[in-house]
Amino acid sequence: MWKWSFVLLLPLAVRAQEVQLYEPVEWIQAIERGTRTRTGQPGPAYWQNRAHYDIHLRFYPDRYALEGRETIRYDNHSPDTLHQIVLSLLGEIYDRKSRRDMAYAPDDFTDGMEIQTLTATIGGIDVLDTVIYSGTNAYVRLKHPCLPGDSVRLHIHWTMAYPAHITIRNGHYGDSTFFIGHWYPKVAVYDDLFGWDRIHYTGMAEFYGEWADYRVSIEVPAGWLVWATGVWTNPDEILTEKYLKRWKELSEDAVTHIVTEEEAGRRDITRTAKTLTWTFVARDVVDFAFAVADDFCWDARLVHLNDTAVVLAQTAYARGRTYYPRIIHMLDTVLTNYSYVLPGRTYPYPVMTIFNGNDGMEYPMMCNNAESNSWAGAVLLTYHEVAHTYFPFYMGTNERRFAWMDEGWATFFPYFFFDMHAKSFNYFNLIARRYLSLAGKSDEVPLMTASYLLHDRNPYRQASYYKPFFALYYLYEYLGKERFRKALHYYMDQWHGKHPAPHDFFYAFNTATGEDLNWYWDKWFFRFGYADLALHVDGHRVTVINKGGVPLPVVLHIRYRDGSTEERRWDLSVWRNRSQLTIDLDTAKEIGEVRLGDDHVVDLFEEDNVYRASQQ
C-alpha cells in the first residue's frame, strides 16, 4: 500500500498562486489597443494588411538569370498612416556585400537582385519619393502617405543573377534542375505588434509573409517543365496532345505517370516554340515559389479528402531515384493524416507538389526535398515539409521571431504518423538524441528567444525543432488526445489566415482547456531548463528531484526482494509548484530496486534514475 507524505501534500495549499506569464511591451500595447486579448482570440480592433501580385517572369536557365515585371497592390487596412513601404528583397542574400549565417562557395556570390525601375502610385498619382536599400530590405519612401483604407500600387522591373551552385532552401541542382524560392520583390509584413518587419534575411532564421493573391506567369524555353505554388491555369497552351490527355484524365483511383522515366527529357512533351509561358494562380497564401527541370519524371493523382476538398498531389523527380517514385503512393496517406488525425483540419489548399531538389524546405503548396538514404527518411522529410502547410502558411506565423511556432509543430506531427504506420522507426528516440545533445548546455536558450538572434545552427535548431517537440509532446500526453485536439482546433479556428504570436497560442489553449496552463508555458518556453529527473531513496522514502526544471511525467518502477513489482505514475502537473516529489512507501516489503522513467520520458542524466539496495 502507498501513503502520501505531508511533504507531498503541502504545496497543494498554494496552488491558487497562479503563474503570470511574462508579456513583452509590444504585446501589452496590443492588448491596450484592442488588437489582441488574453483569451486567445483576436481583439475587436484586430486588423491586417493584404497584397495582390501580378508577375511576369522570364527565366533563363542557360545563364541562371531571372527578369521580372510585377505589379503589387498593397491594401492598408491598418489604422496607421504609412509614410513608406518596406520591400523584402530576399535574393539580396546572394549579393557579395550581404551578411550570411551559412557558408557559401565564392562563385555563389552575385550582384543579387537589382531593381531596374520602380514606381509607386496612390489613386493614380505618383507618390514615390526615394528608395533606400539596406541589406535584404528596400525602403520605398512616399511623398504622400498611404492613409488607412488606401492602396499603394508598385510597378517594379527587376533582374536577379541566380547563384550557380546554391543548394540552401532553394537552388540550382545541376544544369537542368532549379528550385526557385524568395525570388521577387515582396512587400514586408506590417502588423499590429512590430509594425514593419525590418529583420534582414541572413540564412538561418526563416520567413514572415503577408497574406496575398498571386497571378504569376513564368516564361521558360520550350521543353522545360514548371511546377509552382497555386493552380496551373493553361495546360492546353503548354502540353502536347499525348501528355495533355494524361493531365486531363487524373483520378483518385490510380497514379498517373504524366512523364515516365523513359520519357523524361524528351522534346515532345511541350509544344514547339522558342519559349512557353506557364501561368499559375494562388489565393490566400503568404509566398510563391516554383521549380523548373527539363528531364524530370512527373507523377500525379487526385486525393478526395471530403465531398468538397479535392487535392492535386504530384511529385517531380530525377530519373534513377530510389524512393521518389514511391512518394506519390503515400501522399494521400499524408494528406489524410493531417486532415483527420493531427492537426485534424482538412488540407486547406488545392495542390501539393513534392519536387526532388536537394534540401528539405517548404513553400505554399510545394516542397523542395532531397533524395534520402532510406525510405523512412524520405517519408519523414515529406511528412515534415507538408506539415508546414498548416504552420506557418495556414496560420501565418512569424518564423523570423518565433520559429518554434512552425518548426515545433512540423517536428511534432510526424510522431503520430510513424506511431500509426511505421512503429519500427523509432521517431521519438531520433528527436530525443538530437535534443539531449545540447540540452542544459550554455548554448541552449529559452524557446521565447527571438529566432533571428540565433545565427548558429545548433542553438537555432534546438530552440526551433527539438525542445519544442517535447514541450508539445508532453502537453499532449498531459491533456489527452481529445482535450489537446479541442484546444488546437480552437487556436487554429481563431487565428488561421491571420498572424498569431506566442501568447495567442498560450492563451488560446488556456481558454479551450478551461485550465490555466501558465505554469507549463512558463517553465517550458520562458525559462532556462532541460529534461532531467533524479532519484533518491532513503529507506522507504523515495524522492524524485526535478534537476532540469521542466515539467515531465513521473514513472516509478519498484521491484521488491520477494520478486513482486509495482509501477506508479504521476502526470507532469506535480511540478506546478515544486521541484521535489516525495513519497513514503508504507509496506513491509523490502525494496530491491527503484527505477525512474520509461521510454517516453526523456532524461539527460539517466545514471541517477536507478536505485539498487545493497545485497545483505
Sign of CA dihedral 444, 447, 448, 450: positive
Indicate whether 6 pLDDT > 60. no
What's the confidence (pLDDT) of residue 88?
Answer: 98
Indicate whether 400 pLDDT > 70. yes
Give the model confidence (pLDDT) of 138-152 as tens digits.
999 999 999 999 999
The Cα 616–Cα 598 span in angstroms is: 28
Strands 256-259, 151-161: parallel, antiparallel or unpaired by DSSP? unpaired
The Cα 83–Cα 364 span in angstroms is: 30
Stretch 82-103: mean pLDDT: 89
384 pLDDT band, cuts 50/70/90, is very high
- Strand, helix or coil for residue 470: helix
167 pLDDT band, cuts 50/70/90, is confident
Burial class (CB in 10 A: 0-12, 13-18, 19+), 614: exposed
The Cα 83–Cα 147 span in angstroms is: 9
Indicate whether 277 pLDDT > 70. yes
Give the model confidence (pLDDT) of 300-350 as tens digits.
999 999 989 999 999 999 999 999 999 999 999 999 999 999 999 999 999
- H or E segment to which residue 412 belongs: helix 409-412
Sign of CA dihedral 157, 163, 168, 173: positive
What's the confidence (pLDDT) of residue 11?
Answer: 38
Indicate whether 595 pLDDT > 90. yes
What's the confidence (pLDDT) of residue 14?
Answer: 37
Ranking 6-10, 81-85, 188-192, 329-333 by mean pLDDT, the lowest is 6-10
What's the confidence (pLDDT) of residue 172?
Answer: 87
What's the confidence (pLDDT) of residue 2?
Answer: 38
269-295 in b/e form (b: 16+ CB < 10 A) is: bbeeeeebbbbbebebbbbbbbbbbbb
What's the confidence (pLDDT) of residue 15?
Answer: 42
The Cα 533–Cα 578 span in angstroms is: 13
* Residues 245/250/256/258 CA torsion (nearest 10 deg): 40
Indicate whether 504 pLDDT > 70. yes
Indicate whether 4 pLDDT > 70. no
Q: What rounded mean pLDDT belongs to the chain?
A: 94
Is residue 185 within 8 Å of residue 70, measured between CB atoms?
yes
615 pLDDT band, cuts 50/70/90, is low
Give the model confidence (pLDDT) of 420-479 as tens digits.
999 899 999 999 999 999 999 999 999 999 999 999 999 999 999 999 999 999 999 999
What's the confidence (pLDDT) of residue 5?
Answer: 35
179 closest CA partner among 378, 384, 388, 368: 368
Residue 336 neighbours by CB under 8 Å, 6+ apart: 303, 305
Which sequence spans correspond to the domains of the chain? Answer: 2-15+530-612
Out of 2.30.30, 2.30.240, 3.30.70, 2.60.40, select the CATH number for domain 2-15+530-612: 2.60.40
Give the model confidence (pLDDT) of 538-588 as tens digits.
999 999 999 999 999 999 999 999 899 999 999 999 999 999 999 988 677
Q: What is the DSSP letter of 349?
A: S
- Strand, helix or coil for residue 279: strand
What's the confidence (pLDDT) of residue 168?
Answer: 79
Q: How many CA atoms lie within 13 A of 123 on its CB side?
A: 6
